């Protein structure tokens, strides 16, 4: 069992709101509110335990006691190499290396980011469920957010749904791109494949990718991509569809001895801190294999 404490001061404009309404506005999910109802001293107003339907007054101090049962994880901690870009008691921002899946899967329970984060937490004598907010393909590198508790996760998932987490990628694509563009084409699962996706005008879900060329070389362009949606393999499928696949992409691009994976990097993340409400912005430089490709091809 883990416990987290949060405190708020009720403003004049919030006077008269119920405790439940007040907390929903702070990002508390229905699941968390149900948990607080069942927790002794879960919601206290000026030191007194209250219910979610009790009303608040200006200047009231609201103290929250959030207890979280820790599920038995189906994967074991493994000490693996990954970079911590930022950490506090509420979240982690990590730089994922290539070749590391974000989550364990049916045939791949080990050597994932989940195993690595659990081992890291264990070393620090911290315990929290593994909750990855934004996901990357196994061979895509770069920035990911991991929530350390229920409230942090609820607020960040809400930001994802509302498209308030800006994710900016850098991709190496084949061919030369001279001007920016927008790809607004639906993506769906390719018939007969569990993994592969394709542009599907009839059954696909809307997918929007904005791209901007940054640098060109002999037969390649480094593009910046921003997503309005988060479909599986979105950048890879879209760039391939317009004739600029990523070199070395085993699903959608040409084989290339100079690139052993799809050269796609989660370069920048911008979001609001789930608890402090500060603006958070992080960048990570291109990994060495992408830099080497640009130098030598």
Q: Provide the annotated active-site residues.
A: 137
3-state secondary structure of 280: strand
Q: Could you identify the residue written with the tokens 């907390």?
A: 23
The number of angstroms, rounded, from the C-alpha of 252 to the middle of its chain's C-alpha atoms is: 23
Taking alpha carbons only, the member of 91, 38, 27, 92 closest to residue 68 is 38
Count of positions (residues) in the chain: 297
In this structure, is the dihedral angle defined by the CA atoms of residues 146, 150, 154 and 155, taken in order, positive or negative? negative
Phi, psi of 168 (to 5 degrees): -120, 125
Rounded-to-integer distance, Cα 66 and Cα 186, Å: 40
In eight-state DSSP terms, residue 250 is: T
Q: Which of 118, 139, 121 is nearest to 235 (CA)?
A: 139
Alpha-carbon span 70 to 72, nearest angstrom: 7
Start-to-end Cα distance in the chain = 53
Q: What is the DSSP letter of 191?
A: T
Which among 289, 274, 74 has a CA at the least distance from the CA of 170? 289
Task: Give 47: exposed, middle or buried? Use CB within 10 Å, 0-12, 13-18, 19+.
Answer: exposed
- Rounded Cα distance between 223 and 214, Å, is 5
């Amino acid at each position: 069992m883990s416990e987290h404490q949060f405190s708020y001061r009720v403003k004049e404009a919030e006077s008269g709101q119920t405790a439940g309404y007040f907390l929903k506005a702070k990002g508390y999910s229905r699941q968390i509110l149900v948990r607080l109802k069942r927790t002794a001293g879960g919601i206290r107003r000026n030191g007194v335990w209250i219910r979610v339907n009790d009303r608040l007054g200006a200047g009231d101090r609201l103290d929250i006691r959030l207890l979280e049962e820790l599920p038995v994880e189906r994967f074991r901690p493994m000490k693996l190499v990954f970079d911590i870009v930022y950490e506090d008691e509420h979240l982690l921002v990590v730089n994922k290396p290539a070749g590391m899946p974000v989550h364990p899967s049916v045939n791949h329970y080990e050597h994932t980011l989940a195993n690595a984060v659990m081992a890291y937490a264990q070393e620090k004598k911290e315990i929290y469920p593994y909750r990855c907010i934004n996901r990357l393909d196994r061979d895509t590198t770069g920035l990911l957010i991991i929530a350390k508790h229920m409230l942090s996760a609820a607020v960040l998932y809400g930001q994802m749904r509302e498209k308030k987490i800006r994710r900016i990628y850098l991709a190496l694509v084949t061919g030369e791109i001279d001007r920016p563009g927008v790809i607004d084409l639906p993506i769906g699962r390719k018939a007969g494949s569990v993994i592969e996706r394709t542009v599907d005008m009839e059954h696909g879900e809307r997918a929007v990718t904005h791209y901007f060329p940054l640098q060109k070389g002999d037969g390649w362009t480094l593009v910046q991509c921003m997503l309005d949606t988060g479909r599986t393999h979105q950048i890879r499928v879209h760039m391939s569809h317009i004739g600029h696949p990523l070199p070395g992409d085993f699903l959608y691009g040409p084989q290339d001895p100079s690139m052993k994976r799809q050269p796609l990097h989660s370069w920048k993340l911008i979001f609001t801190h789930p608890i402090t409400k500060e603006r958070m912005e992080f960048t990570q430089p291109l990994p060495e294999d992408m830099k080497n490709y640009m130098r030598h091809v």
